[in-house]
Chain A
Amino acid sequence: MRRHPVAFVAFEEQDNLGIGYLASSLMAENFDVRIVDFRLREEKILQFLLPIDPLLVGFSIIFQHHIQRFAEVIGRLRAGGLTCHFCSGGHYPSLRPEELLAFIPELDSVVLFEGEHTLLDLVRCLAERGEWRSIKGIAHREGGRVRVNPLRPLERDLDLFPPPARLPLREYAFGRKFATLLAGRGCVNHCSFCSIREFYSRPPGPVKRVRRPEMVVSEMELLYERKNCSIFMFQDDDFPVACDSGRLWATRFCDQLAKKRLHNKILWKINCRPDEVDSGLFSQMKAHGLFLVYLGIESGNDQGLRLMNKRFSPQANFAAVKLLNELEILYDYGFMLFDPESSFQSVEENLDFLVELCGDGSSPVTFCKMLPYAGTRIERMLKEEGRLRGGPASVDYDFNDPSLDDLYEWMAECFSDWIGERDGVLNLARWIRYHIAVFRRFFPVDERFMALERSVRSVIRDSNLFLIDTARSLSRHCRNKSVRRSPHRLEAVRETVTRRHHEYRDALSRLLDEIEDMAHQSGKRSWSARNGPG
């Protein structure tokens, strides 16, 4: 008897590793799996799904603010004639199944927390037309109420999961392909704004698990040998580098890379906390291909860091960045310029911090507002204070000082393209730095390249300082309560920002073209050197 496929509707911006792991677990059991990008038009999604007559459609909700869009897509799929089982999974669905099932009535179930075992059970049960409602680890409706079944323990040995199924790998830079992967899952820290700890705390089992370094390197080796992949982006919540156990893990990982002779052929990126950056270990990791570290810097003042329960000081942030700069490892970072306890003073301290951190152009400035994600301490705090507003898809809060809401609105208004656009300064600046790192690894560096590198840094430095100066000026304007906020003033600032944004963006785009040309020329030269003239 033909088995109906299992389909996922998922956000496929980079790789969706969560879906890759689920798909792989199902494929290992001979289920046919299909994936459709959540960003396609509803009709396209329907056209993709209807003819395959799926057994189940799983909706991967990574970001809570996507649920409105998911509700629209799911509603259209049901109305369009899909009658199969609809389930959802992800951080928000696992932490708030009752809320989600009420928000999207077309959903039949929620797969709670780590989904590999649970989804496989659910799919098997549906394929055999069994009674799925008693499956461990799901939530579903029963008699007008939501029933949450007992949770399934987290899998202790992550290496038992088959490596994630992947879409064909895409280019990172200069023809080099990239893949995302995991060394582990979970995080032992208790940051008040983050739902990861909560996600891994609720089911029985350890909040943080790591794979065997040998298995991670085997996966990388396969990707290198068979898929021509040379850039690896670790997406761990917190890469294992903390404490003695983390250092031991990372050292074994580096040893394995050397043993497999991969260390000088690849580049890799990790995410970690600033207080985990350590001179000896990071220097070793750099020698084995580490080129980029994404740091959870989050705030530049003590009050903000305390609220976030980061348990380190702004000095730890500076120390981490100084060390990475010395080791010539790139860094990107998350930064919440605005949080629920923000004041004009804390925002201006944060801006001063950003000048000191990256006023030299070592990384582009970024900022955002802390959001009260489901299940976090920040959400509870705001709820207790009566400040939480909006529905589940648009949950937000006002600042204690209403003038700060004006500042945030103005900043968002002026810098939305800069921060959020694909071709915005932030993305281009990050991207060109990645190109530089890849070039350094795979091509001979000459004076022209060094000059280009200096030009890139100079554009990033100028754009950083412009953004910070503009933010300071807006802050001064908004904190002055005697001055009425004028839309004309905002319009004037926005026009200036737009003009400067275009200038910086064009400069970065030109530099990006130039470095691609350099790589092209360099490739041609090495071909000529190998093959001789003519």
Chain B
Amino acid sequence: MDKEMKLREMEPEAYAISSPQNRIFKILWAVDPAILRRLKDETVINIAKIQLNHLAEVASSEAKALTEMAKVIGK
């Protein structure tokens, strides 16, 4: 293995992405704007984004609660 090569990973606090998208990502090259324009109106997109953000926040607070719980149990 090349010892000079170093992989850099962004720390969690160093980035913010719209959703984890663990399973399915859009195949970008298949889409042209004429189709995109017709996909959904802005309102629907915004509602979806708000839902995703909400889900991410819920997941994050659940994770925090579990960590706290683990600490308490540990003590």
Interface residues of A (CB under 8 A from B): 12-14, 23-24, 27, 32-37, 39-41, 44-45, 48, 65, 162-168, 170-171, 214-215, 218-219, 221-223, 225-227, 294, 332, 334, 366, 368-369, 371, 394, 396, 408, 412-413, 415-417, 419-423, 426-428, 430-431
Contacts and interface: CB of A to CB of B under 8 A. Distances in A.
A396 B39 contact: no
13 contacts: A35-B10, A35-B15, A37-B15, A41-B46, A163-B8, A167-B10, A218-B1, A223-B7, A227-B9, A371-B33, A394-B33, A396-B34, A419-B35
Interface string B36-53: 101100000010010001
B46 to A, nearest CB: 8
B20 to A, nearest CB: 7
A422 B8 contact: no
B70 interface: no
Given A40-B18, A423-B24, 12 more contacts: A37-B17, A170-B20, A219-B7, A222-B7, A226-B7, A334-B30, A366-B30, A415-B35, A419-B31, A420-B26, A422-B26, A426-B30
B25 A13 contact: yes
Contacts of A394: 33
B14 interface: yes
Contact of A162 (B6, B15, B29, B31): B6
Contacts of B25: 13-14, 422
Contacts of B26: 13, 420, 422, 427
B18 A371 contact: no
Given A369-B32, A416-B38, A427 B27 contact: yes
A34 B5 contact: no
Please tell me the size bucket of the interface on B: 35 or more
B28 interface: yes
A369 B34 contact: yes
A371 B14 contact: no
A14 B12 CA distance: 17
Contacts of A294: 29
Nearest to B28: A13
B16 interface: yes
B36 A420 contact: yes
A412 B38 contact: yes
Contacts of B31: 368, 419-420
Contacts of A23: 8, 10
A221 B1 contact: yes
Q: Which of B24, B29, B32, B49 has the most CB of A within 10 A?
A: B32
A316 B21 CA distance: 36
B14 A34 contact: yes
Contacts of A219: 5, 7
A371 B30 CA distance: 12
B67 to A, nearest CB: 18
B19 to A, nearest CB: 9
Nearest to B8: A165
- In the A-B complex, the 3 residue pairs with the smallest Cβ-Cβ separation, listed nearest first, are A165-B8, A65-B33, A218-B2
